[in-house]
Structure 1
Amino acid sequence: MSDIAAATKKQRLEKQVLTVHSGSFHADEALSVALLRQLPRFADAELRRSRDPAVWDQSTVVIDVGAEYDPARNRFDHHQRGFSEVFGHGFTTKLSSAGLIYKHFGQEVLSTVLGEPIDSPVVQQLWLKMYADFVEAFDGIDNGVAQYITTEPPRYRSRTDISARVGALNPRWNEPSTDEVLLERFERASKMCGQEFLDRLDYLHKAWLPARDIVVRAVEKRKDVHPSGKVIVFDEFCPWKEHLHVLEDELSIPADELPLYVLYPESEAPDSKWRVQAVAVSPESFDSRKALPEAWRGVRDDALSTLTGIPGCIFVHAAGFIGGNVTKEGALQMAVKALEL
């Protein structure tokens, strides 16, 4: 090999190039580029948009084009016949380029952004959670996977999801759509996807995970509250519904010991009033495992205290999913009495 050829090859190997397809762009490759740019080695990578195989051959990573999925060669397309890759870990949605990049680089991205070791429990847990909460929707939408299993048409339209917003950044039919315009619009789309990814990750890291720790402690102490294990007390409020249902599965809590009521303060004030809330059958459900007694529903204040025989009652919602008391002790009495009725 000549010195010139060797120098050219060395320059090509040192230069990081990310390539996506030309023409109209979509959310999956926009997010893919944003994710790779979180890694130091790709932070300043050149972005190319091309359907030319010669350009692909000069690229470090080829995304959403090329009809090839080969992680060893950094080729991440999902359009080819016979492609059926999924994320695994219980997820069954066919991957788009976003899911492919996240599957292979996501743990490294989270480790870099969070400053945590790649094998840390924080990275491993958030890697799965971020796929469920953020990335999987990119895969489903790009691959035409229906979100709901039904033959009924939707009752309303939504044009505000991130895939729709990325699509809206493409030039309109009566606007110029030169390569320069499309590149500028794609960069905007990728930046938007990347920022929303980071915002979601920041929430999960700084709010969702700490809440899980609080729920874990409360679940572990539930039988100290009531021997049945069906009443849980949080001494500080946190988002608990999703965590509780996940922990029930992880801990294999028997069906006859599943929590029915959760108590928590309304605020951080020392004299805060307390809430007693019935646990829903699932995090998204409006149906309770055991709603507060029907006779209490819609009754308030002294009338409710007289009816229940419990001082300090404030209200029980007409649907029976939540009630309130002036004190923690009163709220606990409401929960325990509701268990018996």
Structure 2
Amino acid sequence: MNNITIATHNGNFHADDVFSIAALKMIFPSFKLIRTRDLALIGKADIVLDVGGEYDPEAGRFDHHQRGGAGERENGIPYSSFGLIWKKYGLEICQDNQDVVNAVDAGLVSNIDAIDCGHVEGVSKGISLSQTISMFNPTWQEESDFDACFDEAVDFAVRVLARFIASANGGISAKVIVAEAIDNALDPRVIVLEKYTPWKRTVHALSKEALYMVFPSQTGEWRIQTVPVEPGSFEDRKSLPKEWAGLSGKALVDVTAIDDAMFCHNGLFIAGAESFASAMKMATMALQED
């Protein structure tokens, strides 16, 4: 479907219409964008979003401002235009991976929808992505070229959306890798990863026994890291030995009797050695510590 016409409202823009256009750019190689409130032009467009007072995905209509809105998710967050576009095209954008679609909706789309619809309970405080997009609008002191500013915001949103999709893909792949590492662990208290992989959510979901993670660093050495009592917590299930705190180089070698021991963080949550064997020795010593 090439050379289609997409319509949205003109003037001041928000994250939902900006990200809707960004999403559509990922599946339509070219289209004509019209920003207008002229009902005659809107009626001729192939896809209409955030304007027009109609939600009919089969007819390409994705507004949510009409009486009664356009529905809501099971968690009560209503759909804005971005959510409606994502509901229709998300699977195609994410190459038929429903898990990625769901992850992007949970992490990005639903938050933008919630803010746009005034459903802000549970939305993080501080400057939001929606506010960031709004700042692309010209201020009262600037020339009011809303269309040019809208294009800049869309370019930014395309990059953000692409990174959210990549991150969701990575997170889902990581879950599989970490789950296999848990299953294959010789000691369920020490989980070994062949390469660094985001692990905290999966470990907390699947293993109550895991105390330490062992994995290679990006520079080729090995790390041992503690498992926190819950994601985001600074309290560990079992800290590294107290006598290692803040030591590095020869001082740590002397205490551990491990020739290639490198460092231990003062917070006792991560330590390093040059070799895998030495990292595992450190894990064994940590397990034996009362």
Equivalent residue runs for 1:51-62 within 5 Å: 51-62=37-48
Q: Is the 8 A contact 2:178 2:202 kept in 1?
A: no
Query: C-alpha offsets along residues 296-341 of structure 1, whole Å, 9 cap, x if unaligned?
Result: 3234445545545655433322211111234322322222332332
SS in 2 for 1:67: coil
Equivalent residue runs for 1:245-256 within 5 Å: 245-246=201-202, 248-249=204-205, 252-253=206-207, 255=208
Query: C-alpha offsets along residues 272-314 of structure 1, whole Å, 9 cap, x if unaligned?
Result: 3x21100123443333222223343234445545545655433
| C-alpha deviation, 1:109, in angstroms | 2.0
SS in 1 for 2:246: coil
Question: What's the counterpart of residue 69 of structure 1?
Answer: 55
Equivalent residue runs for 1:138-153 within 5 Å: 138-146=112-120
Q: Is the 8 A contact 1:87 1:103 kept in 2?
A: no
* Larger helix percent: 1
Question: What's the counterpart of residue 219 of structure 1?
Answer: 182
Larger radius of gyration: 1
- Cα distance in 1 for partners of 2:19, 2:152 equals 11
**Structure-2-length-normalised TM-score:** 0.82
| C-alpha deviation, 1:24, in angstroms | 0.6
> Structure 1 329/86 Cα, relative in aligned 2: closer, same or farther at 3 Å?
farther
> Structure 1 309/15 Cα, relative in aligned 2: closer, same or farther at 3 Å?
closer
| C-alpha deviation, 1:102, in angstroms | 0.7
How much identity, in percent, do the aligned residues show?
A: 32
> Structure 1 94/59 Cα, relative in aligned 2: closer, same or farther at 3 Å?
same
Unpaired stretches in structure 2, ≥5 consecutive residues: none
> Structure 1 171/304 Cα, relative in aligned 2: closer, same or farther at 3 Å?
closer
Question: What's the counterpart of residue 131 of structure 1?
Answer: 105
Among candidates 189, 192, 197, match of residue 230 of structure 1: 189
Q: Is the 8 A contact 1:87 1:99 kept in 2?
A: no
| Aligned-residue RMSD, C-alpha | 3.2
Question: What's the counterpart of residue 9 of structure 1?
Answer: none
Equivalent residue runs for 1:33-48 within 5 Å: 33-40=21-28, 43-48=29-34
Query: C-alpha offsets along residues 28-86 of structure 1, whole Å, 9 cap, x if unaligned?
Result: 1111122223324xx43332223343333322222112333332333222234443734
Question: What's the counterpart of residue 103 of structure 1?
Answer: 87
Amino acid across the alignment from 1:328:
F
> Structure 1 266/169 Cα, relative in aligned 2: closer, same or farther at 3 Å?
closer
**Structure-1-length-normalised TM-score:** 0.71
Question: What's the counterpart of residue 211 of structure 2?
Answer: 260
Establish whether residue 336 from structure 1 lines up as the match of residue 284 from structure 2. yes
Unpaired stretches in structure 1, ≥5 consecutive residues: 1-13, 112-117
- Cα distance in 2 for partners of 1:216, 1:81 equals 46
Q: Is the 8 A contact 2:212 2:225 kept in 1?
A: yes
Pick which of 294-303 and 19-28 moved more.
294-303
